[in-house]
Each structure stands twice: as C-alpha cells, then as structure tokens.
Amino acid sequence: MKKIIFPKPLKKGAKIAVISPAGAVDASQLEKGIKLIKSKGFEPVLGEHLYTKFANGYNYAGTEKERIKDINWALNDKEIGAIWASRGGYGCQHLIQHLKLKNFTENPKWYIGYSDNTVIQSYLLKKGFASIHGQTIKTSSFGVTEESYDLIFDILKGKTPDYSLKSHQLNTKGIIEGELVGGNLALVYALLGTKYSFDFKDKILFIEDIGENFYALDRMIMSLELAGVFKKIKGLIIGGMTNMGDEKENKSYEESFDEFAYKLISERISKYKFPVVLAFPNGHIKDNRPLIIGGKVKMKVHTKVKIEF
C-alpha cells in the first residue's frame, strides 16, 4: 500500500496561495477569509486570475487556460506553502488533465477546499498526497463557524483533528480503521470509471452534497452500487445533505441534515455490514469541520461516534 504524504507544517509568515479553480468570485466575497489568513500569521498571495470572470454557460473564474495557469503556479511555486481554493462551483474537471507536480513532489503543500475541489483532491491522492476537505475562502450564504476555520489552521500547523459526536439513529455500529477518501458525492460520481477516480478498496468513504433532487441522489448512490464501491469500502461517513429534494419544498440552508436523504441512502446500503456515520459536520453547512483526504482514520460508532486521525 502506497504511503500517503502529509505536507510539512507551515511556519509563521508562510505564503498561502488563494486561487479560483472553478466558479467566479467577487473580491467582497473573499475579504473576510483573506483577512483571517493574515490574522493567523500567514501571507495570502492572490492568483493572477482569482477574480477573473468568463461566462460560457456558467460563470467561471477565467478560461480553462487561465485557471490551469493559476493552479499550476500555486502547485509548483517554491515560495508557496499551501493552496486555498476561493470556492467550488464547477470547473475543476477542466484542469486535472493539465496539472503539473514537478516542484510539488519535492515540496508537497496542503490543498484546501471542498465541493467541486473534490476533483483536485482525488487527483492529488492518486499521486500519493493528502489534502484538506474543508471550508473555502468564500463564506457561503449559510455562513461558517469560527471553529471550521480554526481547525483548518490547526492542520496547517501540524495538528490532526479528532471528533466526538452524538450518534444518529440510522448509524451502523462498529469499529474500523482505514484511509479516508471521497468528498462531494456529485464529483465522486462524476469521476467513476475514469483514471482520476478514487481507489475505494479497503477505504473509508466520505460523501456530502447540496441541492440534489432525491431521484438524482438515488441515481448517484445506485451508480456507486453498480460500480461495486460498497463492496470495496470498510466504512462510510455521510456529511451534510443540504437543500435536498424537490425545489418546490423551498428548504432552508439551515436544514443541513436531510433526514429523507439519510433514509434513502441507508436503505440502499442496508445489505452491507460496514460501520456507517450519518450527519457528520462537513459539507455545504455552517459547521463545516475539516477532514483529511488520504488520512488514516479510526472510526468508532456506538452510542457515541469518534473519528480520530
């Protein structure tokens, strides 16, 4: 089994690249996050096309060439200590065939993001590097807790997270250890069958999602089933399922843990015997606590849940 490389802890004053690999952002949306990086003793370095906008059926943060240029700069510039995505959205799939890691392999650095950034994190893990599935620089309309950011800075400084949670009624009990893979379900699903897909064998899979109709959620779970993913994994962690179901229901972003979504997934995987954790606080939710993709996890599911890296 390939040993996964964790980047070195950042020292005070280290430079953190802020880039937009997918959707477009305005400067006002990143103001708080950039100030936070400075307040924690690090230096934000803004990508050339951080605020670029390119409309092509979707508002991208620049053309594909512009976004590829920014991410390869951030990955390979020797002065950059970590990379923090401004937001997700859509567009990271455009980049992965063009990523270069020549200098990155000599000086690995943390890549931080979630949502569409799952694509980049899957790519990095294929190459043997861990990343942080956590809050982007942009704070969404549902906000983000201070702890969600503080825990990311803890990881950047070399401290791995441990979580203790209440147990959900649909959890499946058990104790298991394994490498954590996954992220946003729509992107895990989109990469199935490609050379960029996660390797699921003997792994613990994490999934979260936002704004999917229940039939679309079921379709993605069925695709994982048909691809044999649930036969391969050792455990499953399900995070936020936000604003799910029929759009007419007008669900609030505050309804982070959609009980029907959990019921649907639980029914689909009921024949499997691995431990399952539902309602883990990570995803398109206010309480978005970071997970380390590629990290070795000990997962204890009983009357309480413990997730230890």
Q: Which residues are catalytic?
A: 115, 208, 284
Under a CB-based contact definition with an 8 Å cutoff, are residues 89 and 20 in contact? no
At 181, give phi and psi (nearest 5°): -130, 170
Report how far residue 134's alpha carbon sits from residue 234's, in angstroms, rounded to the nearest whole number.
23
207: which strand partners?
Answer: 183, 238
Strands (E), the chain: 15-19, 43-46, 54-55, 59-60, 80-85, 110-113, 131-133, 162-166, 174-184, 203-210, 235-242, 276-277, 291-293, 296-301, 304-308
Q: Which residues, at least 6 apart from 238, have a Cβ–Cβ distance to it below 8 Å?
A: 206, 207, 208, 262, 265, 276, 277, 278, 279, 280
Under a CB-based contact definition with an 8 Å cutoff, are residues 109 and 49 in contact? no
Report how far residue 176's alpha carbon sits from residue 302's, in angstroms, rounded to the nearest whole number.
12
Which two three-digit tokens encode residue 116? 């569409």
In the chain, DSSP finds a helix count (H) and a strand count (E) of: 8, 15
